[in-house]
Amino acid sequence: MRIDRRTRRWLRLNSVVMGIGFLAVLALAAWLSTRYTVAVEWSTTGSGELSDSSVELLEGLDEPLEVVAFVRPDDFLAGHIERLVERYQRHHPELRFRAINPDARPQLVRQFGVEGQGEMVVEYQGRQEQVAAPSEQRLSAAIGRLAHAHGRPVVYPSGHGERDLAGDANHDLGSFGGYLDERGHDLAPLEAGDDVPDDASLLVVAGPRSDWAPPLRDAVTDWVDAGGNLLWLVDEDDRERLDFLADALGIAILPGVIIEPQAEALLGVDDPRLLLLADYPRHPALDRLDGMALFVGARALELDDTAHERWQVGQLLRSEERHWIELQDPDNPSFDAAAGERRGPLNVALTLSRTGPDDAEQRVAVVGDADFLSNAYVGNGDNLQLGMQLVDWLTDGSGAGAMPGRAAPDQTLELTRTQTIAIGIGLLLVLPGLWLVGAGWAWWRRVRG
């Protein structure tokens, strides 16, 4: 093509027109974005709806709910909050929503203690919760705290090295305790010499490191005898240290640790003390569980001859046939029947229930591991969900407490041993080998050429 002066002028003009047109399209798109809203749903369900746990939470509300948002009308958060609340109103028509301009109503900002743009105040049954940022997880958590605020404390013994429900150490239960607090449970430590409060909803026993004084032993035993609910997270020394509690419940903690012979294949970690359970029996405390729970150094439980006479017993968690109790060296396990080691299935957790002295149902859950709810492991698999549902079942029998904001299912990658080996060989051997072959071929051609 011959390019002369006239052609160059047309090319320049074409470039200018194209540039002006492109800028005009951008300006039009910017103007349209201020007039119209387009929402694209990228959630795990692709439905643009609330999660099942939030819907279940709303369906359990029996009184009107009010949400007040402090946001300027021209702020981009205003539309986001309105759309978020509309999703809640579809499932709870009695939800009343108000948007308040904080610049026009400063007295209300001070009254509610609002500190930031987009902050919301949720009111239910005369109680209020503040939501710092508008999201389903935060809003549902606030509603859950209001709906479950029974005012009955969850009590846990303290002062003997127990795992602290407010502690930050890896072995403590502070993260789990934080979720309980969000759900409206008041956490109260039980000091030596104190009795368990009559209005307590639950007593949590988790791994004392020293022997309890007689007054505390009596207080815990009296609580169980009087029909109080109990969650016992068994620790390594409980078999000797809390034998009186086991006798009161009619259970026995078997010596040794439950071994997972496929730990490396299932978890990629060569630690046979890591026990993975995913096959749950039918139990009201397990209704919503569909993933795996991870336990560390779990102890097996057994019922004594009187347990069935005193309690209605439920199997909560049970190991597989491949597992066994290691009595000798958990780090290098080898099944030895002659040493008294026992193969699975083994009871990892049991529930006990009966009619208490006041004709109310008493509920007890004994789990052969306290580490699964510790700060170090509570985020693994369904550990947190299992713990929360246990507390729900023990305190009010729901067994299906909403867990707003659970992780998306595609955040967990589960590979078989064959898939793991194939990926490892492909990444570590095949791909580097192909690159080396390609580089060698290129070098050889260059030398030849």
Say how far apart CA 313 and CA 228 lie, in whole Å.
16
CATH domain 52-147 topology: Glutaredoxin (3.40.30)
Two tokens, residue 158: 């303290």
**CATH number for the domain running over 150-396:** 3.40.50
* DSSP bridge partners of 254: none
- What is the residue type of 249? L
Cβ–Cβ under 8 Å, residues 245 and 224: yes
Residue type, 271: D
For each of the chain's 449 residues, which pLDDT tens digit applies? 566 777 778 888 888 889 899 999 999 988 887 777 665 555 554 446 788 888 888 988 889 999 999 999 988 899 999 999 999 999 999 999 999 999 999 888 888 878 788 999 999 988 888 888 888 888 988 888 788 665 678 999 998 899 999 999 999 999 999 888 877 788 999 887 788 988 898 999 998 999 998 999 999 999 999 999 999 999 988 999 999 999 999 999 999 999 988 888 888 888 899 999 988 888 888 877 878 899 999 999 999 888 888 899 999 999 999 999 999 888 888 888 888 888 989 999 999 999 888 788 899 999 999 999 999 999 998 899 899 889 989 986 443 344 444 545 555 566 677 888 889 899 889 999 999 999 999 888 888 86
Q: Domain segments of the chain: what residues?
A: 52-147, 150-396
**Structure tokens given for 146:** 């209001």
Is the pTM higher than 0.85? The answer reads: no
Specify whether the CB–CB gap between 325 and 341 falls below 8 A. Answer: yes
CB 383 within 8 A of CB 247: no
